[in-house]
Amino acid sequence: MTGGITHLRHVDLAVVDPDAERGFYRDVWGLVPMAEDSGALFLAAEGSDEQYTLRLRGALARRVDLVAFGVATRADVDHFAEAASALGRGLVTEPGTLQTPGGGYGFRFLDIEGRTLEISAEVQPRAAREVGPREAIPTGLSHVVLNTTDLDGAVRFYTEVLGFRVSDWLEHHMCFLRCNQWHHTLALTDNPHSSLNHVAWEMRGIDEYMRATGRAMRAGIDLAWGPGRHGPGDNTFSYFSAPSGFVTEFTTELERVDDHAWTPRVFRRIPEESDLWGTAVVRKAEPFVGVPDPGAWTPPPF
């Protein structure tokens, strides 16, 4: 008996100005640089036992290098490698020992729009610490949202091949998917091109989320949308544009889902359902739309 994907592990990005991005994620966002190797910087979240939640490297144009998911066992890695092989596109890397911090056993493959995904197990956990009251630093990664040109195809791929479950829809525009008790670890949204919509970091609670939001606002970081609270997932949101232009989110209090008692709902694209508090007066569309990702069908160099 093999198990499914357990959680989101890390997101790897290439950016034009890695020094600016590193400074932003360290000083404004509250992540901790923990290792550097061959031009890649690994940043951890204090409250997470993942070795790193974000990998940054420099490149001529910004792109998504990969999205990494965890599974419980080596057998689960092999199971997903077989399922990915059956897609007929080959794998980017065969299952084997990972050379990234914490090691482990994993492989890489491409999804239906050529995004590089990694699935791994047995990565050595990092010594995390509990984030305390009023500490406005991320406790870990919450979710990633991908822009897709083929919403139904992408939902089919992530549910049928990777075992995600549909939690909710936002009309036929966005689909929220879970792999554990959290309402969404992944969401897919309709877009003119395939790209990254945003990456979200979990905060300890509302107070820490608001303090972090205020810190970023005071630092003059471009607020793309928020602060507010969404209908789907019931989570709070403050979206900012990082120096690279990629959107990053502080969130907390994401809804938990009981698999056996859950029926997916369809939310409407109206302010009353996307901004429950009515406080998210700033709303910019283009940072979320992004630009066509040059990482499609081109796995990262390492």
- Phi/psi at 135 (nearest 5 deg)? -85, 105
Kindly state whether residue 200 participates in binding Fe ion, applying the rule CB under 5 A.
yes
CB of 246 to Fe ion, least distance (A): 13
CB of 248 to Fe ion, least distance (A): 10
Q: What gap in Å lies between CA 267 and CA 275, rounded to an integer?
A: 12
CB of 160 to Fe ion, least distance (A): 24
Q: Which is nearer to Fe ion, 68 or 200 (CB)?
A: 200
Q: What gap in Å lies between CA 192 and CA 277, rounded to an integer?
A: 29
Structure tokens at 251: 């969130």
Q: Which is nearer to Fe ion, 41 or 170 (CB)?
A: 170
Q: What gap in Å lies between CA 281 and CA 157, rounded to an integer?
A: 35
Size of residue set near Fe ion by CB under 5 A: 2
Contact assessment for residue 114 and residue 296, using Cβ atoms and an 8 Å cutoff: yes
Q: What gap in Å lies between CA 109 and CA 117, rounded to an integer?
A: 6
Q: Which is nearer to Fe ion, 249 or 275 (CB)?
A: 249
- Segment contacting Fe ion by CB under 5 A, of 12-20, 194-202, 253-261, 274-282: 194-202
Q: Which is nearer to Fe ion, 98 or 174 (CB)?
A: 174
* Cross-strand partners of 105: 97, 121
Q: Which is nearer to Fe ion, 200 or 216 (CB)?
A: 200
- Segment contacting Fe ion by CB under 5 A, of 103-111, 211-219, 244-252, 279-287: 244-252
Instruction: Tell me how many degrees the CA angle 199-143-119 measures, rounded to the nearest 5.
Output: 100
Residues 120-159 that bind Fe ion (CB under 5 A): none
Residues 245-264 that bind Fe ion (CB under 5 A): 249
Q: Which is nearer to Fe ion, 13 or 200 (CB)?
A: 200
Residue type, 64: V
CA distances for 78 relative to 60, 84, 165, 182, 260, angstroms = 34, 10, 21, 25, 27
CB of 217 to Fe ion, least distance (A): 18
Kindly state whether residue 68 participates in binding Fe ion, applying the rule CB under 5 A.
no
Closest alpha carbon to 73 in 104, 102, 97: 104
- Segment contacting Fe ion by CB under 5 A, of 8-16, 153-161, 213-221, 243-251: 243-251
Q: Residues interacting with Fe ion, by CB under 5 A? A: 200, 249
